[in-house]
Chain A
Amino acid sequence: MNAQLESWRNMELEQIPHTLVGHNVPWVLAARQSAFERFTLHGFPTRHEEEWKYTDVSMISRRTSLAPDNIPPEPSSDARLLAWTLADENMHVMVFVNGHYDPTLSKIDDLPPGVRLESLEDLLNNADELPEAFFEQQLEHTVFSALNNAFTTGGTVLSLPPDTVLDKPIYLLFIASGHGVAIYPRNIIIAGENSRAKVIEHYMGTLDAHNFTNAITQISLGAGAEIEHCKLLQEGPAATHIAGIHAEQSADSHFISHSFALGGHLGRNDITSKLLGKGCHCLLNGLYMLDERQHMDHHTRIDHFSPEGISQEYYRGVINGSAHGVFNGKVIVHAGAIKTNAHQANHNLILSRQAEVDTKPQLEIFADDVKCTHAATVGQLDDDSLFYLRSRGIDADLARSVLIYGFANDIINRVEVPYLRSRIEHLVLNRLPQGEQVKGLL
């Protein structure tokens, strides 16, 4: 055991599960303790590990205590303001401050019969068995999911009975408030056969604080179910955010994942889906827009286990300043997954000399009769396009912003929730010079 791991023990981190929600429920405590063991066995990954080659997480434990707050904080006026401005009439809203559910900021409207939309904290307190299987589930996604399992203080549990359609999207807002806080949200979505829902996970930081968020979302799709999941990352400029979104799909289900990474100092999203049943459809769509010294890493993995699956993956990056974007897209077509149709594309726009991108598509095919394509590009703004716009009287800055927006828009357009799409449009335009005028051209 190395010195760092030793020090975690000495800090009595292992006592923390005894202080967190559910400590008096035997299976919760046992799951937390075994997860903590798994975490200390490995410790944080280093850049010698292939999966973490480009992303250095060694500073996390230097900058923050790993211990979460075990009592909900009093939400700051900033957090209240955020919750009020961002929430929309036409959504179910659940707000979390530093990983703790705040019912006073939330608003869950009437739900169809049998639908459960509840705080994980409440479920664990009440020894509800619904989350148990998800806590026990051995997530291959490493140390961070183990750490989340050990230390989570709450999140959302959504359970949809068969054939239920939720008309209103569910909006989960996670606010980081304070300094040096460690936050462990855990969300569980269980979609029964032929059920449908849209879920938005929005992470916001209000301060230039060294907060650490380690989030896990697990999504189980029954046969024919459809889940559109959208993650919006807008952490504060000094924050670290490591997250996993892991889906499992039964036959004919449809999983749509959007990831918009716009804020945070260091970010990593692991997004995976297992296409277990026949005829599944999986769409992974993402945009990272980075500036200054931001670092954003997306690792995605799609496992085709059954025949006739379709997977489509579209990721784009716009990288400015001395920012660093990383994309690693793994698609594995396992033996027997015949008639799979997989397409992956990652395109990057580099706007400055110091900006950097590492992109790696990884296709592994062990089945016959499949159609798999991939493309990865890294380029600059096209001179011909710039000249064309300028030759019509459009000034250089606006022309550049128009082209950047046009590039990003390909991803934004795939978002089906109108409120969300316009919000993302707005956020992206806000980051561009003369963004307001760009809107006049679309």
Chain B
Amino acid sequence: MLTVNDLHVAIDGKEILRGVDLNVKAGEVHAIMGPNGSGKSTLAQALAGREGYEVTSGSVRYQKLDLLAMTPEQRAREGVFLAFQYPVEIPGVSIALFLKTALNTTRKQKGLPELDAMDFLDLMRDKMRQLEMDESFLSRAVNEGFSGGEKKRNEILQMLILEPKLIILDEPDSGLDIDALRFVADSINKMRSPTRAIVLVTHYQRLLDYIVPDVVHVLSQGRIVKSGGAKLAKELEKHGYGWVEAEDMAKQVA
């Protein structure tokens, strides 16, 4: 579903990703782990089409599409979804209407009829119950005045409603207490399906206790330096990132 080939990305002239290769098939969950500053968030945002993130070389294919040639809104309409690490407050814009507009643009792209207000509200209430979110959220502005945990839940709510094909989650666990973490993890697990792929960016192994990945990649200094199964995450927890980095260094010297 997603093939990233030798991706180089620079921000303000500084190269952050230095040749990332990644191959994610439909039905798989890939975890991207790595120390702070390794380029995890840059990878997530570059895949979603963040402006100012300059792709200096490499290619990204999503299904049969050249992802890098598409605007962020085109990517979203084709089913790419990024759950932000730091969701943005949009004062004055109601969550309900924002999500209704977002959903109907993607439905239009798929050739489906637009949902009317009543059907949309039913859908929204149903998904909010699943996340144990209060109904009062419906009348609030997008992320405005939300706590860190509320913002994260709102990202997951959007994921549930938009039903994307490629889900990129940028540290969905940061700022969550243990109960909230469980809701979020359950919701993500429920999204797993043979027609969908998930890329999960996380700093800590904790989240992977709840969402068991098919493949774990370690990103260091802008490259994937090690890949393995779910066990790799456990080893990282035991030995820290220094261990993988040292191993990679040795490999390069040799």
Contacts and interface: CB of A to CB of B under 8 A. Distances in A.
B is a partner of A: yes
Interface of A: 382-396, 399, 402-403, 405-407, 409-410, 437, 440-442
14 contacts: A385-B89, A385-B90, A388-B84, A390-B73, A391-B72, A391-B75, A391-B81, A394-B73, A394-B101, A403-B90, A406-B91, A440-B97, A441-B98, A442-B93
B101 A390 contact: no
In the complex, which of the residues B81, B98, B101 has the most CB atoms of chain A within 10 Å of its own CB atom?
Answer: B101
A389 B88 CA distance: 9
B97 A383 contact: no
B41 interface: no
Contacts of B102: 392-394
Contacts of B92: 405-407, 409-410, 442
Contact of A392 (B45, B89, B109, B158): B158
Given A392-B162, A396-B71, A383 B51 contact: yes
A406 B77 CA distance: 24
A342 to B, nearest CB: 24
B52 A383 contact: yes
Instruction: Please list the 6 inter-chain residue pairs (A to B) with the smallest Cβ-Cβ separation, ordered nearest first.
Output: A406-B92, A393-B76, A390-B72, A392-B102, A388-B88, A393-B105
Given A393-B76, A406-B93, 11 more contacts: A387-B45, A387-B49, A390-B49, A391-B76, A393-B105, A394-B101, A395-B71, A395-B73, A399-B73, A406-B91, A442-B93
B97 A442 contact: yes
Nearest to A409: B92
Contacts, number: 87
Nearest to A384: B88
Contacts of B84: 388, 391
Nearest to A439: B97
By secondary structure, the A interface counts as helix
B82 interface: yes
In the complex, which of the residues B73, B77, B105 has the most CB atoms of chain A within 10 Å of its own CB atom?
Answer: B73
A410 B141 CA distance: 12
A390 B76 contact: yes
Contacts of A388: 84, 87-88, 90
In the complex, which of the residues B84, B87, B93, B158 has the most CB atoms of chain A within 10 Å of its own CB atom?
Answer: B93
A8 B40 CA distance: 73
B31 interface: no
Nearest to A438: B93
A393 B93 contact: no
A394 B90 contact: no
In the complex, which of the residues B50, B76, B87, B92 has the most CB atoms of chain A within 10 Å of its own CB atom?
Answer: B92
B41 to A, nearest CB: 12
Given A385-B88, A391-B48, A392-B162, A440 B73 contact: no
Interface string B54-77: 000000000000000001110111
Interface string B157-177: 010001000000000000000
Nearest to A389: B90
B104 to A, nearest CB: 9
B221 interface: no
B202 interface: no
A71 B100 CA distance: 57
A163 B81 CA distance: 59
In the complex, which of the residues B51, B87, B94 has the most CB atoms of chain A within 10 Å of its own CB atom?
Answer: B51
Contacts of B48: 387, 391
Given A393-B77, A393-B102, A441 B93 contact: yes
A224 B102 CA distance: 49
B106 interface: yes
A436 B150 CA distance: 30
A3 to B, nearest CB: 52
Given A387-B51, A387-B72, A392 B91 contact: no
A194 B195 CA distance: 69
Contacts of B100: 440
Interface in B84-128: 84, 86-94, 97-102, 105-106, 109
Contacts of A387: 45, 48-51, 72, 88
A384 B94 CA distance: 18
B76 to A, nearest CB: 4
Contacts of B90: 385, 388-389, 402-403, 406
Nearest to B84: A388
In the complex, which of the residues A385, A390, A392, A440 has the most CB atoms of chain B within 10 Å of its own CB atom?
Answer: A392
A319 B82 CA distance: 32
A410 B72 CA distance: 28
A394 B105 contact: yes
Contacts of A383: 51-52
Contacts of B86: 384
Contacts of B50: 387
